[in-house]
Amino acid sequence: MLTKTLKFAAALAIGFGLVSSVHAAEFPEKPINWIIPFSPGSGADTFARTLIAATEDVLGQTIVPINKEGGGTAIGVAYSLAQPADGYTVFSQSDTLVLGITGGQWPVKAEDVQPVARINADYKTLVVPKNSPFKSFKDFVEAAKANPGGIKIAGVGAKSWSSFFVKKMSKGVGIELSYVPYDGGSAVVAAVLGENIDAAVVTSSNVNAQVDSGDLRMLAQSLGERVEDRPDVPTFLEEGLTDINDEVLWRGVFARSGTPDDVLQKLSAALKTATEDQRWKDYMAKQRQQKAFMPYGEFTDYYKQQVIDYSAK
C-alpha cells in the first residue's frame, strides 16, 4: 500500500512539473499589464516605459503600461496585488515599497509581494530653486539651524525613502526641517521649480534636466564620491554625514506572491536581456543611472533582508 502511495505521489509531482513546464513554455499567451504606481512624466514612469518597450520585444508580447499613482504609490501596489498570481500583472517600484510595507501604513504585507528582478539604482540629491539664497549645503544647514522647522522640504510620499532620508540628513547635521510629501517625483520637481517649497530630496534622474538648465541647484548627492558630470556637487559624506555613503534608491519589478516559479524565471531572464537593449543603454546614459541588476532568486533574498532591516528601524 505504501509503495502504491509513493508511486502515486511521484506521479503527481511529475504531473505538476509537466504542467509547470508547459505553463512556462506558453507564457506569455496574452498581453501583460505593467502597473506604474507613479505619476506620468516622473522619473519612475520614464524608467518603466523604457524598460517595457525593450522587454516586450524580448517576450514577443504586448506589455501595457498603466499609471495608478496616489497614496505614496500604495494604490498602484495594492491594485497589482489584487490581480491573479499568473504573471500577467507586474509592477515596478523602488525601495519605497519596503519602507511603505514595513511602516505599517499600506494595505499589503511583505509576503504578498514577489520580487522578479532588481533593475538599476539612482543616487539621491538635495536641490533648491535657482533663486534660492542657499548656494551651498553649508548655507542650507546654517539657515535651518537659525530657523528650526522653518525650511520646507519636499519629498515623495509621507512614509517613503524621501521622508527617511530627510530624517537621516536632519539628524546628521542637527537641524529641524518641515517635510512636505507629494505624490510622485514630477510633483516634487514642479513644487521646487515653482518655489512653492524651499528644497527637495529627489533622485538625480528626476532633476538632471533642470539642474543642467540651471533652473535647479544641486547642493549635495548621496554617492561615496563625486560624479564625473557633476564635479562641483559635493557628497553628503564630504559634508560630514558619515552614514550617507553610497546610498542609492533601487528600482525593480515585482509580481503577486504565488506566481509560478517558472514564470518568474522567464520574466527575470527577459528583463535581464532587456537591459542589454540599446534603448535601455541610452536611457541609462541619459539619466545617469547606476547598474544594479539582480535576477529573481538573488533579488528575492535581498528584498527579504531589506524587509528585516527596515522593520528594525
Per-residue cell: 310: 527596515
- Mean pLDDT confidence for 57-67: 98
Nearest to 121 by CA among 226, 231, 247, 304: 247
- Mean pLDDT confidence for 212-217: 97
- Cα distances from 63 to residues 52, 72, 81, 265, 273, in angstroms, run 6, 24, 17, 17, 16
Alpha-carbon gap, residue 14 to 20, rounded angstroms: 10
- Grid look-up 522587454 returns 55
Confidence of residue 313 (pLDDT cuts 50, 70, 90): low
Of 239 and 205, more confident: 239
- Mean pLDDT confidence for 183-210: 93
Q: Are 55 and 269 in contact (CB under 8 A)?
A: no
Least confident of 73-77, 105-109, 195-199, 225-229: 105-109
- Strand-pair partners of 218: 127
Alpha-carbon gap, residue 280 to 302, rounded angstroms: 24
Give all strands (DSSP E) within 133-271, no chain letters. Answer: 152-156, 178-182, 199-203, 216-221, 248-256
Give this prediction's pTM: 0.72
Give the model's pLDDT for residue 142.
Answer: 98
Alpha-carbon gap, residue 220 to 231, rounded angstroms: 11
Average predicted confidence (pLDDT) for the chain: 90
Q: Are β-strands 63-67 and 32-36 bridged in parallel, bridged antiparallel, or unpaired?
A: parallel
Q: Are 118 and 299 in contact (CB under 8 A)?
A: yes
Confidence of residue 210 (pLDDT cuts 50, 70, 90): very high
Alpha carbon 27 to chain centroid, angstroms:
26
Q: Are β-strands 63-67 and 216-221 bridged in parallel, bridged antiparallel, or unpaired?
A: unpaired
Domains of the chain: 2-122+250-311 (3.40.190.150), 123-221 (3.40.190.10)
Give the model's pLDDT for residue 107.
Answer: 86
Give the model's pLDDT for residue 23.
Answer: 55
Alpha-carbon gap, residue 117 to 114, rounded angstroms: 10
- Cα distances from 172 to residues 24, 153, 165, 242, 306, in angstroms, run 49, 16, 10, 8, 22
- What 3-state class would DSSP assign to 112? helix
Confidence of residue 284 (pLDDT cuts 50, 70, 90): very high
What is the CB neighbour count within 10 angstroms for residue 263? 21
Q: Are 122 and 203 in contact (CB under 8 A)?
A: yes
- The helix (H) or strand (E) run that includes residue 155 is strand 152-156
Give the model's pLDDT for residue 232.
Answer: 96
- Mean pLDDT confidence for 161-190: 93
Q: What is the pLDDT of residues 131-174, one digit of tens each?
A: 999 999 999 999 999 999 999 999 988 877 888 899 999 999 99
- The helix (H) or strand (E) run that includes residue 277 is none
Give the model's pLDDT for residue 16.
Answer: 44
